[in-house]
Amino acid sequence: MAIDARAADRSGSRPRRDVSRPGAGRRGRAAAPAGAPGPDEPVALDDPVTMRLDGRVALVTGAGSPDGIGYATARRLADLGARVAIVSTTRRIHERAGELGATGFVADLTDESEVGALADAVAEQLGDVEVLVNNAGLASRASQGVLRPVAQLTYDEWRGEIDRNLSTAFLCSRAFIGGMAERGWGRIVNLAATAGPVNALPTEAAYAAAKAGVVGLTRALAMEMIADGVTVNAVAPGTIYTAASTMAEIKQGLGTPVGRPGTPDEVAAAISFLCSPAASYITGQMLVVDGGNSVREARFR
Among all residues, which ones are annotated catalytic? Answer: 207
Q: Which DSSP helix (H) or strand (E) runs through 88?
A: strand 83-88
- SS3 assignment, position 110: coil
CA distance 2 to 172: 16
CA distances from 56 to 24, 118, 186, 204, 206 (A): 22, 18, 10, 37, 35
| Of the candidates 281, 160, 283, the residue with the CA atom closest to the CA atom of residue 219 | 283
CA distance 207 to 162: 7
CA distance 205 to 178: 33
| Residues 87 and 159: beta-carbon distance below 8 Å | no
- SS3 assignment, position 164: helix
Considering only CA atoms, give the Rg of the chain.
20
CA distances from 290 to 94, 174, 202, 262 (A): 31, 29, 19, 7
**Per DSSP, which regions of 144-263 are E strands?**
186-191, 230-237
